[in-house]
Structure 1
Amino acid sequence: MSAHSFMEIGGHLLLACRESYLPNLAALFTEDELRHDDEQLGYVSTVHEVRDRLQLHGFTADRARAELDKAVQAWHAKHPSPAADELGVPVRDAAMILSGLGDFVNSADEWATYELPEDVEWQLDARIILRLAIDVSADADQPVRYNLDDLQRYQLLAPGTPITVEARSERLRGIATDAPLVILTEGSSDSQLLTDAIRVTHPHLVGFLHFMDFGNGAEGSAGSLAKLVRSFVGAGIANRVLALADNDTAAHDALAKLKRERLPDDYRIMHYPALPLLRRYPTLGPQLADPVLMNVNGKAGSLEMYLGQDLLTVDGELVPVQWVGYVEGQKGYQGAISASEKRRIQAAFRRKVKAALQDPHLRETQDWSGVEAIVEGILCIFEQSYAEQRTHGCDGKRPPPPSRC
């Protein structure tokens, strides 16, 4: 005789799983609800507690009934005889199925049995079936037990194995893997400009990268970005999350503490990458009237510096960076192009995007290297664990693919 796990409502067994358990059902319990001795192993909650948990996961009463109706309609379409299918199994409608399920769950007969039509059961998520059973239960305090007795008896599961924690962690990993990467920037301008940019440079990634919409005019800073990351961690946001910041002195200083904190492994912190253009870039300081060529990577790398040399050039000259203040924490100066130049470059970039989308051949005459470097950095950032990234960083370059030979 093979071992099975079961969901048990009021002592009545349903949702059998042979020689294992269903992680999606285990995730509905907590380790505090584990009950075991030499003969029994299982998790015990109540009808109303499990109903609340299903509700939070989106398995509502309306959804459960709608999916049952759909499954029954498909069954009837497959077996059009209203009396019986080809095996003589009576063809029931959804109301009859629910009525029979209610009689079973609320029965005083401990030997009562019930089976959903196979063609219906196979179309339904186990959590939908559980929600249907819970909704027809007459007693909200009736115990709901995940019965793992057989698995213990046949040594397929050892007491103390935290299957509820593992199941929820696996579900979160699945959500993080399948859901779009959420990218947090310092404010709405960066988010909107990068969203527009990938439509030109990486159209195949539209829908897979999600730059958070801050709303019009919601300009922020690296400091507010750090607070936003902490709020995401505190809220248990399951998506993979990337904090994407300027590559300047102020941003490195504002994020320094966050980088030292222990973040979930699905979180990353990234600055815009170093650019060859910025290694010898004109800068203005208080001592000299003429621009001085300096490496401004890590010191003045706001997004506008990545939107193209064609936009940074006015009358044949690059718009200079102005040194604006000393940052004690980084032992260096913060640099930036003027606010008026930033506004001009942002407006020109929107026109540049529009033109490139209308005529893709224009891309060959435009400079998109800065945006492409940012996206390459985003693509590489999850190749390392968070601990490795904290130690070694990400240079925005992906390693070559492994040889297939």
Structure 2
Amino acid sequence: MGSYCAIQFDDMEIVTAKSYVPDDYAALFQEGDRDRSHRSDDEPNGEARATFRYKASRETILRRLSLLGATREVVVESFDRWLKELRETWGDYAKDGWGHDVANAAQQLTPAEWIRRVPEVLATRFAKDDFDREPIDEIDRQLRDDSGEGWLNFDGYGSLYSLRAMLEACVDVQWVTLDMTDLVDAGYYDSESPLALEARRSVFESYNPLTPTLILAEGSTDIAIFRATLPILYPELVDYFSFFNHAELSVDGGAVYLVKFLKAFAAANITNRMIAVFDNDTVGVHSFKQASALALPPNIIVTRLPDCETARHYPTVGPQGRHSMNVNGLAAGIELYLGAEALSLNDELRPVRWTGYVAGADAYQGEVQGKTDVARAFLHGLAMVENREEAVAKFADLVGVWEHLINLVESAAEASSLRAWTRLQREF
């Protein structure tokens, strides 16, 4: 019989794999998802059996699928292309005098109809009375066909596109689970080893969903803030990002060096996805434009910090005295995204001081006074935050930064998936 792992939606088994955990399945979970409390009571002797499972919410899995390139948009496009080819293929068969029922069913099938039917099919396809009952129509028959040609896994059995589509259809599902109890019991995996570590033994160089997106920034302070806030704001995504470590080997920082790093990574044909984040100040915006003009490969994403609300009306100090102005694009380093509490001294916002003229940008550069103290105060305040909801309310500008970065990674992953899917279609 062999030993299997399974992806489940609540208690519904969706797909299985024999003798190992596919990388695509492993990439949907992180070690914090391990469910150590669940035990199965279906043993013949009535004794409870320890299980080995990873479990995450439906919303979390949908977000992770997007980071892996299986966004809703790319899945819709994949489904539409599959349905078009299905109709053409069976239409040709019908012209030759056979397969009329399937051809007619293919013409009647729509994305909305597929979504409407899928939850009931998934909930009943393995029920005991389902094996003996007659399909209600040809669409139902094709959706329940598990021969490998069925219409349920339209992109192939166990593909992330098919999984995404099924999960989108099952709006009432609360949890997605990877159950690998049988594989652990059979000795294929060590119950004490992290799933990702075990799964990486079979990672292929050409496609590695287990490799996180590397975040680069202008300096160590930016990286420290990104590293500290990800587990609090997005704990379900901590395994999907890693961070460039300036401090480990005393790597130089600054916008100019970040541009140089990007050139070096591109020249070295580094295949990992990475995102370089420039500051939203004069030098950062100027360097961002320079980096954007480079012929970088699609796995390297270039961006700058998005405009933030705090910087729209911010006190400044310069030769012309004190003024409140919009410093987005001129002086919005990461410190201006850390919240009013960290930015304040004696109940007043620390002002931005203009530091010099940047000839290439034809504008002045500024930075907040005491920015080291701002970062220190922020990290201290962050440690006092009790939950994600409090952090979101307190650091709205940082949430905006993270949403900006996550959306860029999702878009890049989606584009990569579309390119790979298109190449595959051409090959066949």
TM-score between both structures, scaled by the size of structure 2: 0.46
Q: Which has the higher contact order (CA 8 A, sep 6+)?
A: 2
- Kindly name which structure, 1 or 2, has the bigger radius of gyration based on alpha carbons: 1
Q: What TM-score, normalized to structure 1? A: 0.49
